[in-house]
A and B are shown apart, each in its own frame.
Chain A
């Protein structure tokens, strides 16, 4: 398996408080991994470490063999922030997308933009977009630059069922192109559609991992509840290709 993202023995502390403990994670090229867990489990912190926006207190994280910050500088990272996106109200989606494409004229013909149906939105101010429309634009911003690693934090937030279907489609497109994709989410049913494996992160540790293929919503909920209540497992978790 051609692993792109590798994390070993990752710990992160803020002061004396341990946020993440003994995490191991591998994501191969073309693989989609989901991480679920309750609020405060450390999902977003793990995301920041993988993006190179923070450095782990202990352990190693590499992306394509280099540290995440160096990889980000060399290749960029497709990142969807969980924040609602305040600050870009007066920009247009076209201007924002031009940050991520060398040739901004390529926006209109881009298959990801076409699937996300953002063509009619390109020249509107962000302040005039609905929450779901803005989320679609943010998704396009994270995906159009074709980065090797994509991290989407709560990508379903604000999306209606039809838009969630488009989200799954574009995630699948990027995985088919060879991107390693990590989804951080509370929405198990959505993760189950695209992720080859779901890891449960509870109190900074991976407590469970499973292949959601064919699992019903009830089975997913049961697995989640059981995983959240189960004792920590220290075994490294390795994803598989889809």
Chain B
């Protein structure tokens, strides 16, 4: 609650921050959520990355068991590791709270970072690794009040300087007690005029300079989602195939791609405007035709015709995660849509149900998926999105790992400016977490089992999240039971 209140205050303070539509393993939802273990302490971490780099990240740590005596946080950049990190920063216990710690950390460079959260208490010490992307995602717009303040102060300084120069020429070289001659008065006015012209020229040059800095920021430093090109091409067997191309090199990260949950790319196709068709596919890498491009392709299931949003999640070796976006108009399948057509991959999934404002969904075999939270949630308030999957006799269904996790929750708002792919451990990528742990196995984490630092998948369907803006959201919950992938679609209102 306190986190939510603090965030709400910051939202008010930052209402003049105009968020660009940036994307990572999310679109327009930069806050990082993690719930897992630090040693034997269950913790919940929220990181609000700065809008600009270098900038200050806000970190909140809740130690669920309430027995921590101290919490430290340390920013670790992927290329230098703990060795190139400063001493851990002590997080402060929020007054009046027993288990909520808070701290700030500077992120000085762009790229993949992680925050090492260390908890100490009666059960010893424990560490959790929370990866995050450090990039500029926001463009600050000056409020009208601030603009007026700056203009007024600037005008005051300009007029004062012009007056000082005029007085200097008029009286500066007069002997004490001498009267000011008309000639000197005239020269004073000439000096004011010349100074005003010089200052306006200087202001113009300053304006051009500011613009060039702003242009550089917008084009070179502000993160822009990497574009992905999508086209339909028949594969060797004549089936519809979606070919995806994107640049192999990025100024942000040039490390190779690595598999997340065993797949290099997780592709989501959502039919607009209602989200009544949802596909989760796993394109395979194909030989590139040019050196500077990466090519993926996936055989499409029998998707109905329409306009689709494309979201493609990829992870770099550094630990940086990205969501590449585009949209595509699909024509009707060449053959009559056969919805029972097998998927290209066993882990691919397709849902043809429009998200609805319902609390319970029924699946074949008597399975029932229940939404255990309100269909109307407040904006920017951290909450647990909890679902219960029960069998026909009311017992909790035995979940099976699907792509390494017991649950995947895909969130999209109606205009496509927010997209996120969550797991019960939060919005972080497990493979990024592992990458950071692997790099420390010869140093900071030497002689410790790496799995201790890579939170195991939780066998429940609880997802920590805060909706970043108001609007109508669509949620697709994916899980696996008895070898079958289930996809439940919900509609949610955020105010």
- The answer to whether A and B come from one shared complex is no
Chain A interfacial positions (CB closer than 8 Å to B): none
Chain B interfacial positions (CB closer than 8 Å to A): none
